[in-house]
Structure 1
Amino acid sequence: MLKVALHNLGCKVNAYETEAMAQKLEDAGYEIVPFNEKADVYIINTCSVTNMADRKSRQMLHKAKKMNEDAVVVAAGCYVQTATEKLLEDLSVDILIGNNKKKDIVEELQKYFDDNKYNKNVIDINATNEYEELELATVTEHTRAYIKIQDGCNQFCSYCIIPYARGRIRSREFDNIRQEVTELAKKGFKEIVLTGIHLSSYGNNENKLIDVVEMIAGIEGVERIRLGSLEPNIVTEDFAKRLSKVEKICPHFHLSMQSGCDNTLKRMNRHYTSDEYFEKCELLRKYFDNPAFTTDVIVGFPGETQEDYEISREFVKKVRFSELHVFKYSKRDGTVAAKMENQIPEPVKTERSEDLIKVGENLTMEYRRKFIGKKVSVLFEEIINVAGENYWVGHTKEYIRVIMKSDKDISGDIKNVSLIGFANECLNCKNIEKKGVGKEIMLATI
């Protein structure tokens, strides 16, 4: 039995596709082993979102060949799409598999073993309308399952290479989604997370995404539905109203923002203003009680003045996000932004990043503080040891991380609990963050 090791780089969509490839290989008789073990085949599902991601992809491909020079090394995914010619010259790589062709992983390996020669299966991703049907019979997480329902992007933001790596928007068939979720629910997965490269464009219509949500809500065994990253423009009165009527929906919205400054948004080729973004948040607040808003913010984008940064910083506080993911702008060759004038020096980007991270941390604590003394629903997932005692870890619908002591195995259980405060304060454990439990984690009791 041949051993295969897989390594994933990049987003949740990539992670989903890596797991799907692993299951196909296992079904075909391969043994799946950890990536740091000696294997006959190494598969790296690459990322190409930044120059750094490209470099990490190359490093992992070379590492694989060094671990076993006789192994077959497969490069798959986004970096393959953006750097095909360069990879054709890379002696560490034996097989290239582009996006939309990962479903053929078993066949491509068999071709290689039959012919013992270099294989390349890379299509013009920008010329296809086909959605690649990959699905999971199980997932590595014990309680929630990420389900990919969309691929591709038509936005062409000035900093982003993804439309060139993933192609145009394509959507998964409704019935295929139903089938996969039904099977996962039978296996005990209670939370379904819908994801895609540009989830908001599913079916080219905001109502199509709601249709999927409503369909999943009717599947027996599904207790929660969580949406992946959304574009603010999908939020209309009808969208918010229909979504609020789905009892199983999690009131946690990751609304893509990137900047709170209109000047910067325009240079980024984002298709909204800060005022429009804020209106969307308020619309969701109209239909949901204290929803959680999370987002990504890029600092140090080309041309971002100190005033632009401060405008963005103040806007972040105005929205009152429950969590921020802050990124320093990273130049990506092949994008419009990479050629823009007034590139920001790295020390300035670092200073702004550190400052905004602190703002985000304060907002996170402020949001969670509102839940102290309240009853919430928590899906418990795993057990950790804190200060010599075992605690179960879970998340509320708003994606607030919670720990609770229990002598019973409650993994996969959804329980109504009371939040009594922040764990590090309640337990008086100053080293709690070293246990993998940050200061924003809350303590619960039945």
Structure 2
Amino acid sequence: MKVAFYTLGCKVNQNETGALAQLFYENGFEPAPDGGEADVYIVNSCTVTAGGDKKSRQWLRRAKRRNPGAVTVLTGCFPQAFPGEALAVEEADIITGSGARRRVLDNVLRFLQEGGRIVDIAPHEKSERFEELPMERLEGHTRAFMKIEDGCNRRCAYCVIPRARGSVRSRAEESILGELAALAKGGYAEVVFSGINLSSYGRDTGTDLAEIVEKAAQVPGIRRIRLGSLEPDLMTEEMIARMARVPALCPQFHLSLQSGCDATLRRMRRIYDTAGYRAVVEKLRAAFPGASFTTDVIVGFPGETETDFEESAAFVREIGFLKVHVFSFSRRAGTPAYDMPDQIDEAEKARRSHRLQAEADAVRARVIAGMEGCPVEVLLEKPVNNTLFTGYTREYVPVLLKAPGHRQGGIVHAVLGAFDGTRCTAALAE
């Protein structure tokens, strides 16, 4: 039987879809061809925005139209956070939450034998532990993505993720290091650590993110370690100093911002202000010369005035982010922001989103242009032909370069050239 997956949202969701796929393939299922018909359709949902919920419903409806006899599964954060709304998706034969991922396969096999709609949404519990899933190994991938943390203990005013994901749960150190050894043996030179609140790794087990980075770097064959989204207030001086002593750690930091306006940050119930954020950036730049920064910014949060928006945009320009993901505030039922006064209309949110993204793209072009002529280390990712590859530097600059005699997954030394708006040209270092 053929199975198709559709993933929405963050890197954690993508990791979990990879693990689900491996579970299904190991149990006799085959991947459906791109755009082809499948016997089982699985959507791994995201519920950060209402738009994500809508996309999940639309995909399932298309799947049922394509093959009315197929088994359709709605899983992930949407059903976990909003079970009532998920149950109303009539096209879903099986509905599960963000936990007990292994039961997705069991539920599909049960449905194939018995029929009848299955709803399996287990509530998160404080005693819950990190769920081990098979490692993700996808053909054509040169970086390994590894989920090492789940859940979040924070209560930001706009966010439904703690309800969808539960409390912080950290993956066991021996499990991480064992998988890293297997990945290195399989030819992966770079690993990307991800989590719902990655900076909180180890807070439930008595360790911390710096320690697992230090130990991961000692695994033979792992040459580059990259970190997912980080909370700036949790990047302490000690953590930064320890990480700076790990040569394998890539100097690219995705520091969650959400707004560059202090008044908006207070309404969002974030735990830092722009001065604190700026201080963390300065400490990281001092510890990692040439470091790059990426982030997320919400526009149109309730009460955000035009002056607030301008302040946020100015902060984005000041920091000089390599890349910014801009998105409009989405009201999520059950969060404090849902009922806040001075909601911004959708047209104004769209205007601000487009404007800030244009400014962020201009900052990106300026930052990358400033790197022209710099020596870099490039992981060769996708071959365009026998000698031409796309790839990424340690700072996460996308490049295009000729590397005759080298293979996909290799790491080469190069010199950056001009930026064309999409990628930098690069040449092998002599």
In the alignment, the residues of structure 2 paired with residue 190 and residue 96 of structure 1 have an alpha-carbon distance, to the nearest angstrom, of: 37
Cα displacement (A) at 1:158: 1.0
Cα displacement (A) at 1:444: 2.9
Please give the TM-score of this superposition, normalised by the length of structure 2: 0.94
Cα displacement (A) at 1:172: 0.8
Report matched runs for 1:74-93 at 5 Å. Answer: 74-93=73-92
Instruction: Give the aligned partner of residue 296 of structure 2.
Output: 296
- 1:399 partner letter: Y
The 8 Å contact of residues 297 and 327 in structure 1, kept in 2 or not, is answered as yes
- The C-alpha deviation readout for 1:141-182, integer Å capped at 9, x for no partner, is 521011001111111211111111111111111111111111
Structure 2: tracts of 5 or more residues without a match: none
Report matched runs for 1:332-347 at 5 Å. Answer: 332-347=332-347
In the alignment, the residues of structure 2 paired with residue 97 and residue 169 of structure 1 have an alpha-carbon distance, to the nearest angstrom, of: 20
Instruction: Give the aligned partner of residue 411 of structure 2.
Output: 414
Instruction: Give the aligned partner of residue 203 of structure 1.
Output: 202
In the alignment, the residues of structure 2 paired with residue 32 and residue 235 of structure 1 have an alpha-carbon distance, to the nearest angstrom, of: 40
Report matched runs for 1:38-437 at 5 Å. Answer: 38-136=37-135, 138-204=137-203, 208-384=208-384, 391-422=388-419, 424=420
In the alignment, the residues of structure 1 paired with residue 286 and residue 75 of structure 2 have an alpha-carbon distance, to the nearest angstrom, of: 44
Instruction: Indicate how the Cα distance of structure 1 residues 54 and 313 shifts in structure 2: closer, same or farther if over 3 A, else same.
Output: same
In the alignment, the residues of structure 1 paired with residue 147 and residue 136 of structure 2 have an alpha-carbon distance, to the nearest angstrom, of: 13
Instruction: Indicate how the Cα distance of structure 1 residues 26 and 345 shifts in structure 2: closer, same or farther if over 3 A, else same.
Output: same
In the alignment, the residues of structure 2 paired with residue 440 and residue 408 of structure 1 have an alpha-carbon distance, to the nearest angstrom, of: 22
In the alignment, the residues of structure 2 paired with residue 420 and residue 68 of structure 1 have an alpha-carbon distance, to the nearest angstrom, of: 49
Instruction: Give the aligned partner of residue 23 of structure 1.
Output: 22
- The C-alpha deviation readout for 1:234-269, integer Å capped at 9, x for no partner, is 211111110000000000000001011110001111
In the alignment, the residues of structure 2 paired with residue 411 and residue 403 of structure 1 have an alpha-carbon distance, to the nearest angstrom, of: 13
Cα displacement (A) at 1:115: 2.5
Cα RMSD of the aligned pairs, angstroms, is 1.9
Worse-matched range after superposition: 325-334 or 170-179: 325-334
- Aligned to 2:193, the other structure's residue is in SS state strand
Q: Which runs of 4+ in 1 moved over 4 A?
A: none
In the alignment, the residues of structure 2 paired with residue 90 and residue 314 of structure 1 have an alpha-carbon distance, to the nearest angstrom, of: 42
In the alignment, the residues of structure 1 paired with residue 260 and residue 166 of structure 2 have an alpha-carbon distance, to the nearest angstrom, of: 28
The 8 Å contact of residues 326 and 357 in structure 2, kept in 1 or not, is answered as yes
In the alignment, the residues of structure 1 paired with residue 348 and residue 61 of structure 2 have an alpha-carbon distance, to the nearest angstrom, of: 33
- 1:54 partner letter: D
- Aligned to 1:334, the other structure's residue is in SS state coil
- Aligned to 2:92, the other structure's residue is in SS state coil
The number of equivalent residue pairs is: 428
Cα displacement (A) at 1:409: 4.7
In the alignment, the residues of structure 2 paired with residue 199 and residue 289 of structure 1 have an alpha-carbon distance, to the nearest angstrom, of: 23
Please give the TM-score of this superposition, normalised by the length of structure 1: 0.91
In the alignment, the residues of structure 2 paired with residue 400 and residue 286 of structure 1 have an alpha-carbon distance, to the nearest angstrom, of: 20
In the alignment, the residues of structure 2 paired with residue 355 and residue 84 of structure 1 have an alpha-carbon distance, to the nearest angstrom, of: 35
Structure 1: tracts of 5 or more residues without a match: 425-437
- 1:189 partner letter: Y
Instruction: Indicate how the Cα distance of structure 1 residues 154 and 363 shifts in structure 2: closer, same or farther if over 3 A, else same.
Output: same
Instruction: Indicate how the Cα distance of structure 1 residues 352 and 150 shifts in structure 2: closer, same or farther if over 3 A, else same.
Output: same
Cα displacement (A) at 1:420: 2.8
Instruction: Give the aligned partner of residue 424 of structure 2.
Output: 441
- 1:182 partner letter: A
